[in-house]
Structure 1
Amino acid sequence: MGSAVIDIPDGEGVGVTLKEKKKFQFSLQPIISFLRENNKKIQFSLPPIVSYLREKKTKHDMRRVIHSTKVGVALVLVSLLFLLDPIYVQVGDNAMWAIMTVVVIFEFYAGATLSKGLNRGMGTILGGGLGCLAAALAQEVGGKIGHAIVVGIFVFIFAAAATYARLVPRIKKRYDYGALIFILTFNLVVVSGVRAVKVLQIARERLLTIGMGFAICIFISLLIFPIWASDELHDSIASKFEDLARSIEGCMEEYFGIVNEKESQPSAKNSSSCKSVLYSKSKDESLANFAKWEPWHGKFGLYYPWGRYLQMGEHLRELTATIISMEGCLQSPRQPSTTLRHLFKEPCEAVVSLLASTLRELRESILKMRVCHAEKIVPKLKSKRLEFSLVISPSKLATIENGEGYTIATFMFLLMEMVKKVEELAKEVEELGEPAGFSTY
């Protein structure tokens, strides 16, 4: 018997047989299975920028996106000097200097943008003004030889003086870029070889367009989602107290958690935290320099004592160096026995607990800008240091044989050094409170 065929009408009245339907369903299976197997690969093919923004959600990454957007907006605005005919007629090709200004001075932090902008302005004005005077004097001398001699003398004097100024540490920190722009502008003006009147005209037009670019940068950098170097430095210094407190606690757990005489390795997290604090000097100095250029904003007024943050950073790095030395005790192949370590565990835990709590208290004082009362903190640390010195007295350590007393004494001596350094930090935080205007409640 032949197989029956059932017509299934569709919207257009065309029948589809059951066999054809089965064949049609069967032919979709490889496609469906392929899509299921390669689902992850297809999702991975999303635009790189979209997938990157989904993965990166931290505060710092968000600020990068904001900064990039602000730079793009600034360049669009300054490009209107070229794109709009009424404005271009007024400024001409000098509009290129405005674009160059935006590209050069727009930095991540508002203070850095303001610093480079003011330095560029001062360097341009001084270099252009002195260059015009030098060019005018050279024209008065007359003659090609006399003109060349006068120009050469002026170039040598001002270039040498500005270069020497750049080597002075105090000037180099804050005005190095301005001195560089001064040298460049002065030489461009004085050796131009044109008449003094034309030199003044060119300098005036270029200064005007540079001022336009500077105004756009400052407006966007300071008024639209500003990224303050002062906030970064303040939060960074405060977070270092917490990082070091965790590192000290981590060393304590690892040292007294060693079993079966196995060599211990400090955790990667502790090491990375210590290294980030130890190598933070250059970043702290840059942030402090930028913060000094920033105007009054939020909780930071003019003449805020950023220099004390740098002093505090030095004490934090000294404490970090001691913690790293303690981590060296964990890596040493000569470790005291478990019994001996547990014999001194209780007094060491008491010291570490006091150190960690004190560091966190100092962090809260800085972060919330509250006055730190060192007269309450330092006596506790000194008392604990005196008690601890009795525990590691030579008379007790001398009774320990096989040289194990020296290994445990090294660890405990480093703890005592940490107590001293935390005492100094407490005094530094207290001294910061008055000039910084910390609250007393």
Structure 2
Amino acid sequence: MASIVIVIPDGEGVPPKENIKKFDTFSCPGISSFLRENKRRHDMRKVIHSIKVGVALVLVSLLYLLDPLYKEVGENAMWAIMTVVVVFEFFAGATLSKGLNRGIGTVLGGGLGCLAAAFAQAVSGIGKAIVVGIAVFVFGAAATYTRQVPNIKKKYDYGALIFILTFNLVVVSGLRAEQVLELARERLSTILMGFAICVFISLLVFPIWASDELHDSLISRFEDLARSLEGFSKEYFENVTGKENKSSANFSSCKAVLHSKTKDESLVNFARWEPWHGKFGFSYPWGKYIKIGGDLRDLATTILSLKGCLRSPTQSSEGLRQSVKEPCEAMISSLAWTLRELGESIKSMRKCPSEDVVVPKLKSVRLELSLVVTPATLGTNLENADGLGLASFLYSLMEMVENMDELAKDVEELGELGGFHK
């Protein structure tokens, strides 16, 4: 059987072995307490959002309840109420996105609808119906096509939908041109009233920022993956007798990380609509959060592959696992520490000391792996299929180190672009 030669890096930048043990026992209680506090805060935000929506509905209902206001807007007050119901979202960025989309769609749809209606009124007889039919077909088909363009769908899908609705309502109404203009003006004014109420309450009264949710969600995933690694290590090396049926590895959190892509893209879209607030400026690199989220999903996939090492029929014997227990536990502890360190740097918005701390830590893990993966350790056992499970496990660790290295680079780049402090 051909042997695999692994180049052992030089000792430059690699901490001594006793220092590695010291770092491996490092814990990050700050992130754990942060996650518990974040959960309580999220529950409270649901209550706050519900109260804010109720207040907005009361305010917009005054257009109906107060006679002076009702005389100005009349039955068009219905559009203001509809705007609040449809536009007011949980996150401030989502409210701004929907509100501006609704306004743009209404203005464009109403304006083009007025022009098409005026042109149709100038045509007598059957020509009027033909003009209306052609206009509805052309603009409806064009707007529907644009909704399928990925970049437009992410940001302006709701605006395109409102455009189609408004354009058809104006054109097919069959009113005279001056009546169409008056109807569009009144409806637009009431929509703006509803939007103004939504923005005022959403941004100024206990605002709920999508950027904060994205930031906190990303941080929590670092801790989740670190705990999954530690749980796997405990189950793989301590529950070797087969008598322990309870799993210590929480792979469900890894599956949650794998399903986070849609949520990340949605929150990034909302965060880009939000004004400057707190620690996030106008040019904050939200796109890097998508890249880091992708790195974490790759890492979660590798961690989930370790589940096969626990269930594999070619799982290593107890003696073989015990022979590599100490160095492997140290390596996994180092990887978990690195994850927590990267998560803590994003949480506190400080530049990650990757060259001074993270890179040496990963070098030390590579060095430990090169010492474990030797023909003396696996060669004989592979012939008897006893070492196949262990070989798979060690290969997953190698892949995890490479993923961690890429993750550290992206976190460092986020710190540079985001202006993190040292």
Letter of the structure 2 residue corresponding to residue 207 of structure 1: L
Q: In 1, Cα distance between the equivalents of 2:245 and 2:366?
A: 27
Counterpart of 2:325 in structure 1 is 345
CA contact (8 A) 1:266 1:331 kept: no
TM-score under structure 1 length normalisation: 0.84
TM-superposed deviation, 1:63: 0.9
In the other structure, the counterpart of 2:256 is: 276
Letter in 2 for 1:92: G
In structure 1, what is the equivalent of residue 74 of structure 2?
A: 92
1:422 aligns with 2:399: no
Q: Specify which of 119, 132, 149 is matched with residue 137 of structure 1.
A: 119
Displacement, 1:154?
1.4
1:45 corresponds to: none
Name the residue aligned to 1:294. 274
Residue from 334, 338, 344 that aligns with 1:364: 344
User: Alpha-carbon deviation of 1:97?
Assistant: 0.4
Looking at structure 2, the residues matched to 294 and 237 of structure 1 have their Cα atoms a distance apart, in angstroms, of: 18
Tell me the CA shift for residue 262 of structure 1. Answer: 5.0
1:98-123: per-residue Cα shift (whole Å, max 9, x none)?
00000000111111111000000000
Offset, 1:185? 0.4
TM-score normalised by L of structure 2: 0.88
Match of 1:247 in 2: 228
- 8 Å CA contact 2:331–2:368 kept in 1: the answer is no
Instruction: State the Cα RMSD in Å.
Output: 1.5
Q: Partner residue of 1:203?
A: 184
Give the distance between the partners of 2:74 and 2:215, measured in 1 at CA.
Answer: 45
Which residue of 1 is the match for residue 104 of structure 2? 122
1:196 maps to amino acid? A
Indicate conservation of the 8 Å contact 1:264/1:331, yes or no. Answer: no
- The answer for the alignment partner of 1:111 in structure 2 is 93
Please name the residue that 1:303 is paired with: 283
- Give how far 1:384 is off: 2.3
Tell me how far 1:234 sits from its aligned partner: 0.5
Q: Give aligned pairs, total.
A: 382
Alignment of 1:32-431 (within 5 A): 58-140=40-122, 142-262=123-243, 266-267=247-248, 270-376=250-356, 377-400=358-381, 402-431=384-413
Q: 1:210 to 1:62 in 2, by over 3 A?
A: same
Structure 1 residues 379 and 266 mapped into 2: Cα distance closer, same or farther (>3 Å)? Answer: same
- The SS at the match of 2:296 is helix
2: CA distance, partners of 1:412 / 1:261: 21
Q: Which region of structure 1 is more displaced relative to structure 2, 392-401 or 430-439?
A: 392-401
- Equivalent position of 2:22 in the other structure: none
> Given that residues 314 and 388 in structure 2 are in contact (C-alpha distance below 8 angstroms), is that contact kept between their aligned partners in structure 1?
no
Which moved further from structure 2: 178-187 or 377-386? 377-386
Moved more, 92-101 or 274-283: 274-283
Q: By how many angstroms is 1:259 displaced?
A: 3.3
Consecutive unaligned residues in structure 1, runs of 5 or more:
1-56
- How many angstroms does 1:265 deviate by? 6.0
Percent identity among equivalent residues?
70
User: Secondary structure of the equivalent of 2:282?
Assistant: coil
Listed as ranges, the gaps of 5+ residues in structure 2 are 1-38
Q: Is contact 1:111–1:291 with CA below 8 Å preserved after alignment?
A: yes
Contact 2:338 2:361 (C-alpha < 8 Å) held by counterparts? no
Letter of the 1:370 partner, please give it.
R
Contact 1:263–1:333 under 8 Å retained in 2: no
Give, as a single letter, the amino acid of the residue that structure 1 aligns with 2:118. Answer: A
Bigger shift: residues 386-395 or 430-439: 386-395
